[in-house]
């Protein structure tokens, strides 16, 4: 009987300790919101943001604002220094190449929750705007930079070369002649 009582006391103490630890852990967490996520591609007509993510939430291909995914998690209240980790790939249709990028991007100040708009600007920078107003509205708080109309598959045919291109020195060095 004493053994059973001892196990009950130890079990109750362990449960109380775990509950206290869980309560302490949740004290430091701020309330969050799942915002719809859309990428806006302001890059030149031969460049496309073919894929992006914000804090691990996939945003698909950026374009003119018509494609939305769910959801990027953001704090319910904006605070100074708020940043998001953005990863994106850019396809270069003109030269048949591409690049991968990532950066910690400041999130513009917001007072109301809304949609997360990720702008890939022509100068290579990224801007994140949380707003319940869309980017085509005159009172949108984000950039109003041009969004080029893109038809790269019509303007830039696929590269015709097969395989890598070697310089004369490489051809000799690797005995490829």
Position 158 scores a pLDDT of: 64
Q: What is the 3-state secondary structure (H, E, C) of the chain?
A: CHHHHHHHHHHHHHHHHHHHHHHHHHHCCCCEEEEEEEEEECCCCCEEEEEEEECCEEEECCECCCCCEEEEEEECCCCCCCEEEEEEEEEECCCCEEEEEEEEEEECCCCCCCEEEEEECCCCCEEEEEECCCCCCCCCCCCCCCCCCCCHHHHCCCCCCCCCCCCHHHHHHCCCC
CA 163 to the chain's CA centroid: 32
Position 121 scores a pLDDT of: 97
Q: How many CB atoms lie within 10 A of CB 103?
A: 14
Position 131 scores a pLDDT of: 97
Q: Both tokens of residue 174?
A: 């690797």
Position 2 scores a pLDDT of: 53
Domain ranges of the chain: 32-155
Fold of the CATH domain 32-155: Immunoglobulin-like (2.60.40)
Position 79 scores a pLDDT of: 97
Q: For the chain, which ranges sit under pLDDT 70?
A: 1-28, 153, 157-167, 170-177
Residues 6 or more apart whose Cβ sits within 8 Å of residue 71: 34, 35, 36, 37, 57
């Amino acid at each position: 009987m004493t053994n059973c009582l001892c196990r009950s006391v130890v079990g109750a103490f362990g449960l109380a300790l775990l509950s206290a630890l869980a309560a302490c852990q949740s004290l430091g967490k701020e309330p969050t919101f799942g915002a719809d996520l859309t990428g806006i591609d302001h890059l030149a007509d031969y460049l496309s943001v073919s894929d992006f993510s914000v804090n691990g939430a996939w945003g698909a291909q950026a374009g003119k604002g018509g494609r939305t995914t769910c959801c990027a998690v953001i704090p319910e209240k904006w605070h100074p220094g708020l940043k998001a980790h953005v990863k994106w790939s850019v396809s270069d249709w003109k030269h048949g190449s591409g690049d991968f990028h990532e950066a910690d991007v400041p999130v513009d100040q917001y007072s109301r929750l809304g949609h997360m708009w990720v702008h890939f600007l022509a100068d290579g920078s990224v801007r994140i705007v949380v707003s319940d107003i869309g980017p085509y509205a005159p009172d949108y708080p984000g950039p109003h930079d041009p969004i080029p109309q893109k038809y790269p598959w019509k303007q830039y045919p696929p590269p015709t070369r097969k395989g890598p291109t070697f310089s004369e020195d490489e051809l000799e060095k690797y005995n490829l002649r």
